[in-house]
A and B are shown apart, each in its own frame.
Chain A
Amino acid sequence: MIRRLSPPLIVFAILVYLFLLGPLVIVIGAALSDTTYLTFPPQGLSLRWFEKIFEMSAFRRTIVTSLQIAFASTTLALLIGIPAAYALNRYRIVLPSWLSTLFVLPVLVPEIVLGFSLLRSVQVGAGVPVLIALLLGHTLIVLPYCVRVISASLASFDFSIEEAAISLGSPPAKTFFTIVLPNVRSGVIAAFILAFITSINDVSVSLFLTGPGISTLPIQILAHVEQFFDPVVASVSVLLMLLTVAVMVVVERTLGLTFLAK
């Protein structure tokens, strides 16, 4: 196919990409500014706002909490999501059809409504401690990604391979780990990454579940911006962008960049 695009369309797309990337470049510039207020282009170059992040205990603590919650909720979601995805594919006929809908509910229900409801019923109503409530909330919002992505992998998995292994004498549970799981490896990696990023960036659920002394990084950023207009948040933003880059590199190494296109 001889593909041709008209020049106005190409110019339009270039402008859109400038619009998409410009503000992020500006954040990087602002983070490097030597001024005490946010400005762009940066005036003087300095890394002092990066050092400042780690001098401020609020940021230090919330970065750690965010990473902990992201790791824990993603792991938990995979632990319960992989068997669920497997069951949905393997036992499709005997399970009710609403079950697969149930697992996408956390993305259908507005997150902020979910966050508020968790605060009402789980944290206040049932008296669940802040950290546990936060963990449950995050597990809930990343669960749909785990179930959906792994289901998609399993959908293209030929279950006769599993039956072949069992017929050759491999016990079912062992077969799952030696035969099924390695074949949906890319799905598991993709689910982990998507879930991790979703948890790290979450605002709407964390907003209600963070308590005194326990907060996540995005909530801390929001709180900081309300009071100060200094480049420290720009520096934190740059750190988060570096995390995104790291994630994309991991995806590229393990799954290939074409995976991102899907």
Chain B
Amino acid sequence: MLKRFAGWTLSGPATFLVVLCLVLPVTATIAATFGSAKGPWALYQAFFESGFRQRVLWRTLEIALITTVVSVVIGFFTAYVVSRAPPRWRSVLIILAVFPLLTGVVVRSFAWLIVLGRNGIANNFFVWLGLEGAPYPMLYTQGSVIIAMIYLFVPLMVLTLVGVLENIPDDVIEAAASLGATQSAIFRQIIFPLAVPGLIVGAVLVFTGSFTSYATPQLLGGDRQMTMGTLLHQRAMVAFDWDGAATVAAIMVVVTLAIVLAMTRIARRLNPMAT
């Protein structure tokens, strides 16, 4: 009894803040989408009847999917190298991956503005090569958004997977070698299957992160490559269409939740350690 009181008292302020400033406002936002005078589903109908908004949703899903797949692949092989590098190199490589991660999203997206811009290093290089038609317009394309997103999420993926790969005990790998497994057999039959749960966790992080991002598509996609994040902002702050913005927000929550739930279910099915 006393313990319950102490427990609730100590966790009270944090609970209060989360309920008051997160649970209630987000619930209110989602509830608002059903409050249209034209019926509870009217706002969703409007969303899906607008070809433009539908395109934004599909584009965002496409960007998130490509970003996830590429980041997972790049991240896995890089993490494999990092986890098996000599100890001194290993810590250097980890620091070099942490550094971009701690540097903000705005700075890292902005960097690609300089790389891909008309006077950017890429175009300067193409002009120097004498390529026909250079400089090319590379900014404000889906490609530029995807590159910057991959750039954003690869460090996260590497660090997540280094942890996962290092949790594979050395003696399991040695056991495989003693039973005659070659390096590539160990990689395919032991390391990869054991990393699958980590890959899924990382994929969920990357997918939800890129699906809901704002700064990167804003800087590198602009109005031409609008995503759910920039659409939400545009509806709310430029068009002052709060119902529209709330609808976008609700769809984002639903998609995010669906992905998280689906992936954790898949992860549980694929988890080799599950009994």
Contacts and interface: CB of A to CB of B under 8 A. Distances in A.
B102 A116 contact: no
A170 interface: no
A221 B106 contact: yes
Given A20-B151, A26-B115, A40-B121, A118 B21 contact: yes
A27 interface: yes
Report, as a range, how many residues of chain B touch the other chain. 35 or more
B155 interface: yes
B71 to A, nearest CB: 11
11 contacts: A9-B77, A16-B74, A91-B7, A94-B7, A110-B211, A110-B212, A110-B253, A113-B212, A114-B26, A140-B17, A140-B21
Contacts of A161: none
Given A16-B74, A117-B26, A218-B215, A110 B14 contact: no
Interface of B is mostly: helix
Contact of A143 (B18, B107, B110): B18
Interface in A115-173: 116-122, 125, 136-137, 139-140, 143, 147
Contacts of B25: 114, 117-118, 120-122, 125
B104 A111 contact: no
A40 B81 contact: no
Given A20-B155, A80-B13, A139-B17, A105 B22 contact: yes
Nearest to B170: A1
A222 B115 CA distance: 17
A56 interface: no
Nearest to B257: A108
Contacts of A200: 104
B154 A20 contact: yes
Contact of A257 (B91, B120, B151): B91
A134 B247 CA distance: 23
Contacts of B8: 87, 95
Given A91-B3, A225-B113, A248-B99, A39 B119 contact: yes
Contacts of A112: 212, 214, 229, 232-233, 249, 252
A222 to B, nearest CB: 6
A218 B106 contact: yes
